[in-house]
A and B are shown apart, each in its own frame.
Chain A
Amino acid sequence: MDLLKILKQFKNIEPNRAFSETSRRAVLAQAEAMPAWSVKRALFGILEAGTAVALAGFFIMLITGGFSGSRLAPVQYSAIDPQGLRAEAQAIDIQIQLANLNYQGSTAESTVQTVKPANTTKAASPVTSATSTPAATPTLTIDQALEKLSN
């Protein structure tokens, strides 16, 4: 038998009429149900993606310590470390000394020798004159110098 002839006969193959009718009905019925399912699926997909993103965010926050002010933050026992506490207490003591300097500065007049007023917080390390004035020559405050000039 000629093979080519056989292949050409394949063109005439058709499905059974009853089978094609059943299949058509099944496909059409499926197509009707699809829209309702697609909305549900879309919602489910959004929910799924949202949950995944939220979980990822939560873990990132947990790892990077983003909850460090909240109840979710892990208990840090380093908070009772005496060395850390001592360092902070010392910083306060230094500030108390600066405040006392402010107090002394407010009761004494600012000196002319310092460009910054002596009663500022930076007065602890005043910018002294670049020139070396003889120790024997007393320096005057702005107010003292003005007083001398007013007479």
Chain B
Amino acid sequence: MNLRIIAIAASFAVFPILGAFSFMGQAYAATENCTITASDVGAITTAQANGLIQELAARRTLLTRIISCAKTEALSLQTDLNNMPADNDTKTLQSQFYGKLGDAANYYDIELSKVNDSGIAGTKAIANEALSWRKANYDTLANQISNFILWSQNQALFRTAEGRFTQIGRIVSFLEGAAQNTDLEGVTAIAQTSFTNAKNANSDAKNALTQFLPPDQSLSLIQESLQLLSDSYQKFFDVSNVLQKLLSTAKTIQP
């Protein structure tokens, strides 16, 4: 009886451990499979010397591996897209991109299903077809999605800057209420303009993304918005310096 209990307990303990090892093995295999070297391609040349059957087998194996990796790439990007922060405005775009990546994964599945029924010429045709499809569709889609993820990450920076500028503005208003200062007014106005420009560029970048404009165009707008935001912080520093001078002067005047 006791032995039976021990056996059951042991099997419960061993199976998860074996499962974990098996999972690790799969992950390891998946990573290994996606490291394609020139020698992997060279193996086809070696197989050619051993006859058509071996060459075909080598071509099918490598092509399956490459297309599987392409599918993994699309699914990985889909996960990144799903994990990114999105507000109500961008949720629609997020789900549109998500769907397009799903279509890409389906395309790779269809190509994979063709591989084992193809001859040498067939595998070459599938490789060529997949390459053309990627250049025409996937590369642009992947770049657009990367830009969208980048833009979404930027929104936290813009929100922080907005909060910071609001707080600075309140200090400025408070001090201006006590005594007007032209220096303070000047630097605050410059900071305001600079931040408005950054927000406008950020908004333009969003429009470029929602209109599916070429990725280079949307990326350039994203870069511009970030550069303008960085410039705005320089202006915030200027306001901060003037404010600190005013506050330190007020302290020295105090009896």
Point out residues on A near B: beta carbons under 8 Å. Answer: 69, 71, 73, 75-77, 79-82, 84-85, 88-89, 91-93, 95-96, 98-100, 102-103, 105-106, 109-110, 112-113, 115-117, 119-122, 127, 129-131, 133, 137-140, 142-143, 145-151
Contact = CB atoms under 8 A, between A and B. Distances in A.
A96 B228 CA distance: 11
Contacts of A142: 36, 66, 69-70, 73, 134
Interface residues of B, number: 72
A79 B164 contact: yes
Q: Which of B36, B40, B227, B247 has the most CB of A within 10 A?
A: B36
Interface in B4-37: 27-28, 30-32, 34-37
B130 interface: yes
B240 A82 contact: yes
The 3 closest A-B pairs by CB, nearest first: A79-B167, A150-B128, A149-B127
A76 to B, nearest CB: 6
B230 A112 contact: no
Interface stretch (B46-54, B89-97, B150-158): B150-158
Interface of B: 27-28, 30-32, 34-41, 44, 59, 62-63, 66, 69-70, 72-73, 76-77, 80, 123-125, 127-128, 130-131, 134-135, 139, 142-143, 145-147, 149-150, 153-154, 157, 160-161, 164, 166-168, 170-171, 174, 215-216, 219, 222-223, 226-227, 229-230, 233-234, 236-237, 239-240, 243-244, 247
Contact of A117 (B38, B146, B219): B146
A149 B146 CA distance: 28
Given A120-B80, A142-B69, A99 B36 contact: no
A105 B77 CA distance: 14
B interface SS class: helix
A146 B171 CA distance: 61
A112 to B, nearest CB: 5
A92 B226 contact: yes
A112 B32 contact: no
B219 A103 contact: yes
B153 A122 contact: no
A145 B62 contact: yes
Contacts of A92: 157, 226, 229-230, 233
